[in-house]
Amino acid sequence: MQEEPEMVTPGVVLGKAAEVKPGKGAYLAPYRNTEILYVYSSLAGVRRTLSPPPDSPDQRPVVEIIGHKAQGAVPEPGSVVIARVTKVMAKMASADIMCVGPKSVQEKFTGIIRQQDVRATEIDKVDMHLSFRPGDIVRALVLSLGDARAYYLSTAKNELGVVSAESTAGATMVPISWTEMQCSLTGQIEQRKVAKVGS
């Protein structure tokens, strides 16, 4: 399929549903009051057609719209993000998402880590204050798009959790187990849900 540098605006018809499949930036909707489904564009940008893999049962090409502003990464359910904890409360912690995978984000995304998503075992006995503190950098998994205010994040795996934290004395802490980190200046031990880095 050839590349078409065709500029489209939201609402433009990209094709019939029987002929093309909607990709990113496109959606299916019935034509006015009829039952015929068409593929419409939802973004303003350049239209691109992708050919289907030869062995899939559905042989329709995929049409997607590349928006001219889409450079920053956007968290998707299932992606691993790096976030900085902003607030710790009794039943949840708020965090600002900074990177999605290897790419940094261009706009502010907020995530929430609920008490039951901090770890996999004994989830009712989790003390949020002993798992995160404001200012910690955590690696988390996006569970879902959540509500209008924030994504839902989870640290319930060995490789997820606090990656870097500062002690009350102001020094960077060194992890010593999956629940403890030690201050490099004073030797005090503080409790966090620590991510397992490396093999």
Partner 1 sequence: MEDKPSSSPMSFVDQIVVPGDVVLDLSTMTNQTIKLGGGLRQDSDAISVMKAGKLRFSKPNKYWVESSQKRYVPCVGDSVLGIVVDSKAENFLVDIKGPALAFLPVLAFEGGTRRNIPKFEGGTLLYVRVVKANPGMNPELSCTDASGKAAEFGVLKDGYMFECSTGLSRMLLSSPTCPVLEALGNKLSFEIAVGLNGRVWVNATSPSTVIIVANAIMNSETLSGLQQKIMVDRLLQKIQT
- Which of 173, 167, 151, 163 is closest to 194 using CA atoms? 163
**Residue bearing tokens 């928006």:** 67
**Three-state secondary structure of 65-105:** EEECCCCCCCCCCCCEEEEEEEEECCCEEEEEEEEECCEEE
> Residue 188, interface with partner 1 (CB under 8 A)?
yes
Q: Is 103 in the site for partner 1 (CB under 8 A)?
A: no
The answer to whether residue 87 forms part of the interface with partner 1 (CB under 8 A) is yes
Of the ranges 39-47, 81-89, 158-166, 174-182, which one interacts with partner 1 (CB under 8 A)?
A: 81-89
Query: Rounded to the nearest whole angstrom, what is the least distance from the CB of residue 90 to partner 1 in the complex?
Result: 7
- The answer to whether the beta carbons of residues 81 and 97 sit under 8 Å apart is yes
For partner 1 (CB under 8 A), the number of binding residues is 12
Q: By CB under 8 A, tell whether 192 contacts partner 1.
A: no
Residues in contact with partner 1 by CB under 8 A are 87-90, 128-129, 133-134, 169, 185-186, 188
